[in-house]
Amino acid sequence: MFKDYIENSNFEDTGFSYTLSLISGKYKMVILYCLMEFQVVRYNELKRYIKSISHKTLSTSLKELEKDELIIRKEYPQIPPKVEYSLSEKGQSLMKILDLLCVWGEIHKDKGK
């Protein structure tokens, strides 16, 4: 009976799979965390915060997060151009989960050594 259930189930149809599709990748959760901590952040500030990220990866990640409506991109019409990023309402709703991941990591980071 359990075997039939698992054979007829599809991981890709789950809410867990959907959530992972939005935050998967090496840097998306880091970007979201940064926006949670600092609220409104400019591109270069994100780049300095995430030292190891390339410009292409940061740009791609920001575009995907914006497309998935997790962040808001606000562009100011001035020279030089000014762009700020912040969490959308949908992105803010993820922060409780992200915060729990942070708490779990703080509790267990030294225990694994």
Q: What's the rounded Cα separation, in Å, for the pair 41 and 34?
A: 8
Inside any domain, residue 11: no
Inside any domain, residue 8: no
Inside any domain, residue 100: yes
Inside any domain, residue 20: no
Give the tens place of pLDDT for each residue, 23-40. Answer: 888 899 999 999 998 999
Inside any domain, residue 39: yes
Domain span holding position 92: 25-108
Inside any domain, residue 65: yes
Contacts 24+ apart (CB under 8 A), 48-54: 53/27
Inside any domain, residue 113: no
Inside any domain, residue 86: yes
Give the tens place of pLDDT for each residue, 94-110. Answer: 998 888 888 888 888 87
pLDDT, residue 61, reads: 95
Phi–psi pair at 39, nearest 5 degrees: 70, -65
| Amino acid symbol at 46 | L
Give the tens place of pLDDT for each residue, 64-102. Answer: 999 999 999 999 988 888 999 999 999 999 998 888 888
Q: What's the rounded Cα separation, in Å, for the pair 51 and 41?
A: 15
Give the tens place of pLDDT for each residue, 4-17. Answer: 666 767 767 788 88
Alpha helices in the chain (DSSP H): 2-7, 15-23, 28-38, 43-49, 55-67, 89-93, 95-108
CATH of the domain at 93: 1.10.10.10
Domains of the chain: total: 1
